[in-house]
Amino acid sequence: MIDFAKFVKYSKPGPRYTSYPTALEFSNDFKYDMYIEKLENQDPSRPLSLYFHLPFCRSACYFCGCNVVFTSKEDKKVRYIEYLKRELQILKNHLNTSREVIQMHFGGGTPTFFSAAQLQEIIESVKDIFPNFAENAEISCEIDPRFINEEQMAILSQNGFNRVSFGVQDFDEKVQTAVHRIQQYEITKNAMELARKYDMDSVNIDLIYGLPYQSLNTFKATLEKAVSLDPDRFAVFNYAHVPWLKKTMRKIDETTLPRPDEKLAIMKYTIDYMSEHGYKMIGMDHFAKPEDELFKAIEKGELHRNFQGYTTKGGADLIGVGLTSIGEGIDYYAQNFKDMASYEAAIDAGRLPFERGVALNRDDIIRQYVIMELMSNFKLDIKRFEKEFGVSFKEYFNDALFALREFEEEELVKVCDESIECTLTGTLLIRNVAQPFDAYMQKYTTSEKTFSKTV
């Protein structure tokens, strides 16, 4: 039984740990030449994961924390495709692109804001540069159900896409109006039917709790409608209200946001409802059917986490392509320019549109291992860690183990000589559990406007 009464005191700002170090540590100290050297010296035996950022949206959803460009102009999309092609050609000069690709993801923005013909053009350009896709590659696309038609879904299917994720957030009309995203149930239902018609292996639905005017009763109705669509996975996110970072969030009336106790009630009900309807909680934000590979991976302790979220595809170098995209290697993170003018100017100069990043030192790599194991599998094999890094876990993380005592007393984690393992309640507070291992958090303890709240 989950004790939600314990949650409230743990509601404080904290990273989501899609990376470690987090993006706040990215800087211009990691130079272009350093990034190129990293690319050119990657281990040729390691596979590749590709992320393509397709940033355009027709209008703003006020809750959105993504890097997007709002437009209705066709020429902007045509121009962007040309720059993507040129970026790929430059990338080919610095990277062994014959390596096996085991994962590719189109994110946004709204990738399906591009037409079927434009999507085909992008995919052909990618496969021209990266010809060696694994037979079982995970190829996925984020989809706004308001912008998908049969021709687009057919193109995705024909080109090996096997996973799609539908943004829904909430079916309540009042909530939709408040966040500037009107999307009737029938629109999402039609998108789901298209995905099934074209044999997508896995369909995910994104929901968000903590939005304006949401209550337990309204979210119950949303859950009922969402589950009736029978997706393979759900991602149910806690709304991250960061108006100091995202201007569109300032359009949200903060007095209409649900109180923490209401959000906790929604979370509790969601967990129970999903369980009753055949979905198992994977951990932070995610639910899947027991036959889903995500669920099987966490049972084996083989789940991984990167900027695309949870995945079964570990051990790959992530290459980010397009505006604001982030790449990841064994010992670095690299991010492209966030504004279009700088992005284009770099490519015009024959350079990759790299802006900033971070090179990982040994301490970063050690802490990254621990934090990502906890965030992905909610446990850490201490003996395996010590074998991997040749250090005493107890000595290296003495301060962190001391900080975990409170979590032990609250029965959120179990710590012994062999392992650290989260309890069921602890998995829901995994961001808090991971923080003691974060060497950079001390810089942000006095700042409320850095991270979203963990609860």
pLDDT value at residue 11: 63
- Does residue 230 or residue 283 have the better pLDDT? 230
Residue 451 has pLDDT above 70, yes or no: no
Q: What is the DSSP letter of 63?
A: T
How many percent of the chain have pLDDT more than 90? 73
The residue assigned the tokens 């100290």 is 29
Residue bearing the bigger pLDDT, 245 or 275: 275
Residue scoring higher pLDDT (9 or 183):
183
Amino acid at 186: E
Lowest mean pLDDT of 60-69, 219-228, 299-308, 409-418, name the range.
299-308
Q: Lowest-confidence range among 148-152, 265-269, 346-350?
A: 265-269
Assess whether pLDDT exceeds 70 at residue 454. Answer: no
273 in Cβ contact with 227 (< 8 Å): yes
pLDDT in tens, 198-221: 999 999 999 999 999 999 999 999
Determine the pLDDT at residue 453: 57
List of domains in the chain: 19-318 (3.80.30.20), 362-442 (1.10.10.920)
Token couple for 306 = 């990167």
Q: What residues contact residue 263 under an 8 Å CB cut-off, 6+ apart?
A: 209, 210, 238, 455
Q: In which band, very low, low, confident or very high, does the pLDDT at 236 lie, cut at 50, 70 and 90? A: very high
Collapse the DSSP code of 421 into the 3-class scheme (helix H, G, I; strand E, B; otherwise coil) and give the result.
strand
pLDDT for position 310: 76
As a whole number of angstroms, the distance between CA 119 and CA 129 comes to 16
* Beta-carbon contacts of residue 336 (< 8 Å; ≥ 6 apart): 53, 320, 321, 322, 323, 324, 325, 326, 343, 352, 353, 354, 355
Query: Do 310 and 303 meet the contact criterion of CB atoms below 8 Å apart?
Result: yes
Q: What are the CA-CA distances from residue 97 to residues 69, 143, 156 (Å)?
A: 29, 27, 22
Give the tens place of pLDDT for each residue, 8-20: 667 666 687 888 9
Task: Give the pLDDT confidence score for residue 446 in this predicted structure.
Answer: 52
